[in-house]
Structure 1
Amino acid sequence: MSTSLQALTFQRLHPRAYLERFLAEGVRPDGRGDSSWRDISVNSGSISTADGSALVRLGDTTIVCGVKAEVAEPDIDHPASGFIVPNVDLSAMCSPLFKTGPPGEEAQIISQYIYGTLLSSEFLPLKSLAIEPGKAVWCLYIDAACINYDGNALDATLLAVVTALKNTQLPTATFSETTGRTTISRTLSAPLSLNFARTPSSFTFGHFKPSSSPLPNSVPESFFLADLTSFEEPLMESTLAVVMYPNGDIGGITQTGVIDTVTSLPQGERGVTGSYDAITRATLLAKSQLASLHKQKLM
């Protein structure tokens, strides 16, 4: 049996031990350090039939997002506000981890995360979607589909949604009191009224606790890993997702599971005494990655 086949067999039969052996050497299975992110590419305007669109690749995870606008009647309690309807599709075509049929639990969680993040950030004020208060507003259907899945769909999807909204052009619309109808221009359009100072970015981390005992003195008791792959995600004890704005302010933190005090340190800092609080550690790493995204002009 070849060495590569033996490694693949060991990975499938003993995934935790496989990951532990890599982390003990200060590296992850794909060659990254604890706090390293995979390469990111962003393309806007990738769907000509949509009012706005984007294609995002985060490592091997690929998300395509399209925005379609329709005229709707406003809610009676919010007559001057429009609507946003995000929907995330994780189909069986993007990974064998997902099944055919209606949206699964993970897709619904990401959809709710996107919706809550957009509302709380006010990146897209709903009042800016009013055509005629009390009469007509825009409803934006934001559909994000994963066409290849290798973990961290949460961060990739939010980046795709934000980029698609930046790319969106709404046709000029006027409401006639005489006819009670809305007329939409076929030639005139304008970008969305976005609050760029409140552009949300998401950064997700996983907390991994080795089960091997005893551990070598040089190996931390737990690890805090950025940008999880599909192999790493199910092995985590918990995850922490941080929403951050361009100025470094935190827009929200979502945690699943219980995270103890995290003692893993960035590559090159092993042996430094002391521990890191999980939220503090996540915030510092998120700020660093946010700065990198801005430097690459991906935000």
Structure 2
Amino acid sequence: MAAGFKTAEPLEYHRSFLKENCRPDGRELSEFRTTTINIGSIGTADGSALVKLGNTTVICGVKAELANPPVEAPERGFIVPNVDLPPLCSSQFRPGPPGEQAQAASQFVAEVIGSSEVLQMEDLCIERGKLCWSLYCDLMCLDHDGNVLDTCVLALLAALKNTALPEVSFSAETGVPKVDLEKRRGLKILKHPVAASFCVFDESILMADPTAEEEQLATARLTVVTDEEGRLCSMHKPGGTSLSGEKLQGLISQATVRQKEIHKLIDKVIKSIT
């Protein structure tokens, strides 16, 4: 009976739970799903991580390549994120070139990298104007059950903390780099940006960490990114219902609490493997 009601009237089905200030999966409105992190999942990558947020699963692999620094910034390196939402993760995606949602997710992750100063691009420079590291961060969603942005940001952060680059020396005379694969050093992570996403239901009810079904029924979505200092790094709102300043401040406060929880989780996972 309940399954039939959910299929025939999904909106009313969710409203019946919201009247009791809970959700179909048993969570409170402000509660995030169980989060797990597995670091070093891809042996062939320079850094990697697998993150699960409820049923949503994203794996991130970091591949470092030597490149020429940009002409406009000869002392900097690159970080290039790419989010892939293949058909295997959800029936809503089709084979072919990256769709609009995947492109928007890639752009969002790139904006988080730039605004949060997770690391200094200058640290990726080997020889000014001659040689730098380019970090290609491939994020693939293996299972999509909503809130892929939070999962991608967390997978990227965990993978970067797991990344170790080979030692490289550069000869100005020959212009040929020498790579020592036996000697590696980790990246200097300066900030720990964490994304917290929320959806608006029936124009006024706010829910944290929406599932795929909740995202489809929502009238608006909002993602807030904060760091360990409580600084607002980024905010993403793709349209829909507007929020009052008071409600927005409340979501930022929730995001700050979420950041602290995730930061502790990452530290715990790293300590367990060292």
Q: Write the distance in 1 (CA, Å) between the matches of 2:186 and 2:267.
A: 19
Paired with 2:109 and 2:217, the residues of 1 have a C-alpha distance of 24
More helix by share: 2
Q: How far apart are the structure 2 equivalents of 1:135 and 1:295?
A: 38
CA offsets, 1:112-137, max 9 Å, x none? 11111101111121111101011011
Q: 1:259 aligned to 2:259?
A: no
Rounded Cα–Cα distance in structure 1 between residues aligned with 2:232 and 2:35: 22
Superposed CA offset, 1:1-28 (max 9, x none)? xxxxx32232222221111111112211
Q: CA RMSD in A?
A: 1.6
Larger radius of gyration: 1
1:253 aligned partner, one-letter code: M
Residues in 2 aligned to 1:289 and 1:133: alpha-carbon distance in whole angstroms: 38
What residue ranges of structure 1 are gaps of 5+ in the alignment?
Answer: 1-5, 211-221, 263-275
1: CA distance, partners of 2:9 / 2:230: 39
Q: Render the CA deviation track for 1:6-57: whole Å, top value 9, x for unaligned.
A: 3223222222111111111221111111101100011111111000000101
Contact 1:53 1:163 in 2 (8 A): yes
TM score, norm. by length of structure 1: 0.86
User: What is the TM-score of this pair, normalised by structure 2?
Assistant: 0.93
Aligned with residue 149 of structure 1, among 131, 144, 147 = 144
Structure 1 counterpart SS, 2:29: coil
Equivalent residue letter for 1:278 = K
Q: Which amino acid aligns with 2:215?
A: E
Assess, with a 3 A threshold, how the Cα gap between structure 1 residues 199 and 261 changes in structure 2: closer, same or farther: closer
Q: Which residue number in structure 2 is paired with residue 193 of structure 1?
A: 188
AA of the residue aligned to 1:246: E
Question: Structure 2: any 5+ residue segments left out of the alignment?
Answer: 269-274
Aligned partner of 1:204 in structure 2 is: 197
Q: Find the partner of 1:46 among 41, 48, 69.
A: 41
Percent identity (aligned): 41
Are 1:291 and 2:273 counterparts?
no
Tell me how many residue pairs correspond in the alignment.
268
Tell me the equivalent position of 1:214: none
Q: Distance in 2 between matches of 1:247 and 1:83?
A: 25
Q: Quick check: 2:164–2:187 contact (8 Å CA) kept in 1?
A: yes
| Residues 261, 164 of structure 1: alpha-carbon distance in 2 compared, 3 angstrom cutoff | closer
Match of 1:249 among 231, 243, 246: 231
By how many angstroms is 1:294 displaced? 3.8
Match of 1:78 in 2: 73
- 2:112 corresponds to 1:130: no
